[in-house]
Amino acid sequence: MIKYLRFLLFPVSILYGFIILIRNKMYDWNMLRSHQFDLPVICVGNLVLGGAGKTPTTEYIVRLLNGYRIAILSRGYGRKTKGYLLADNNATAETIGDEPLQYYQKFDDVTVAVCEDRVYGINQLKEDHDVILLDDAYQHRAVKAGFNLLLFDYASTRKFQFMLPAGNLREPWSNYDRAQAVLITKTPLPLNMMDQIEVRKKVDTRIDQRISFSEIIYGDLVPVFSAPIVELEDQSYDMFLLTGIANPKPLVSYLEKISKSVFHFKHPDHHNFNEQDINQLINAFNNHPAKQKIIITTEKDAKRLIGENLKDLLLNLPLYYLPIEIAIAPKDKFTFDQNILEYVASYKRIG
């Protein structure tokens, strides 16, 4: 069915690709203006829609740049507000989006802001910060970032990709050439040399570009509200997994290795959970006969579950989120880190 649907949408993808080509050429030829700024601007983005690991990669860069005054600027996808907003203690997933809320609650010394107009947002932040991280802005050509870090999920490099709407490509695959560095995420490390060569053929980076590989590292379960400590190594638990992310496959595969069984309640990326969604999960959980059972979600999804409309339903349940980080392949880590550190350290403000 999906195969035939893609075939029907293919003409639309050709038209979409042509529009994107013309738009990019207008920026390349200075017919549309790209704004540069007098401080380091690092863009973390991707070509394939969702699921490449931008959030843990942004968090990795924040830790790498410890000591600098950092601001993270995001569009705030899924929020119910408009315009420029600074995250504060009153922020919720509805006001600023789930990912910005995660950044704000995780990093005390980092400013988090949301704005659809990244140029306007940077202008509000630039005077009080040393570096600005743009979350998911590779296609936002109105900003000319000094350092573009482009992410590819390892699995996406192993198959042919179609342009939207027939596929998941936001713009042609060859447009990776705007990036200063390329990071292959969710890689099954260690990766043998032949597989590395195949990826490098697909992402044929220029000599001045750097390609690195990374994997996901899963942390310890964290109670969303209040629940006893659970060790993931204990394989006696049945797990009820609730997700609203673009690509839950790696998480499902990981949990299936350490659980008796995994019951997955899957929703679209940034899904606004409602009472019906949660009651469906709760009913399945309560009716399951296992004595050892827990509910797991992602850290990002947890930010959309703590609102007052859902909190009362979940408060007394064993609900946990599973944090993730990225780990750069040992042979790539020094070069990857140094490229970013040297860019930020050598950047001189104008005037």
**Angle (nearest 5°) at CA 175 between 9 and 77:** 70
Q: Do 295 and 285 form a contact (C-beta atoms < 8 A)?
A: yes
Which tokens in the block code for residue 29?
């030829």
Cα–Cα dist 16/9, whole Å: 11
Q: Do 111 and 125 form a contact (C-beta atoms < 8 A)?
A: yes
What are the DSSP calls for 100-139, one per residue? HHHHHHH-TT-EEEE-S-HHHHHHHHGGG-SEEEEES-TT
> Do β-strands 319-322 and 293-298 pair in parallel, antiparallel, or remain unpaired?
parallel
The phi-psi region of residue 174 (left if phi > 0; otherwise alpha if psi is between -120 and 50; otherwise beta) is: alpha
Tens-digit pLDDT string for the chain (351 aa): 556 666 677 788 889 988 999 999 999 999 999 999 999 999 999 998 878 999 999 999 999 999 999 999 999 998 999 999 999 999 999 999 999 999 999 999 999 999 999 999 999 999 999 999 999 999 999 999 999 999 999 998 888 888 888 888 899 988 988 999 999 999 999 999 899 888 888 887 776 778 999 999 999 999 999 878 887 776 788 999 999 999 999 999 999 998 889 999 999 999 999 999 999 999 999 999 998 999 999 999 999 999 878 999 999 999 999 999 999 999 999 999 999 999 999 875 543
User: Is the dihedral angle over the CA atoms 196, 197, 202, 204 positive or is it negative?
Assistant: positive
List the one residue out of 254, 261, 234 whose CA is nearest residue 322: 254
Which domains occur in the chain, in start order? 23-217+328-346 (3.40.50.300), 220-322 (3.40.50)
| 69 exposure class (CB count in 10 Å sphere: 0-12, 13-18, 19+) | middle
What pTM, to 2 d.p., does this model score? 0.94
Q: Do 109 and 66 form a contact (C-beta atoms < 8 A)?
A: no
Q: Beta partners for 153?
A: 185
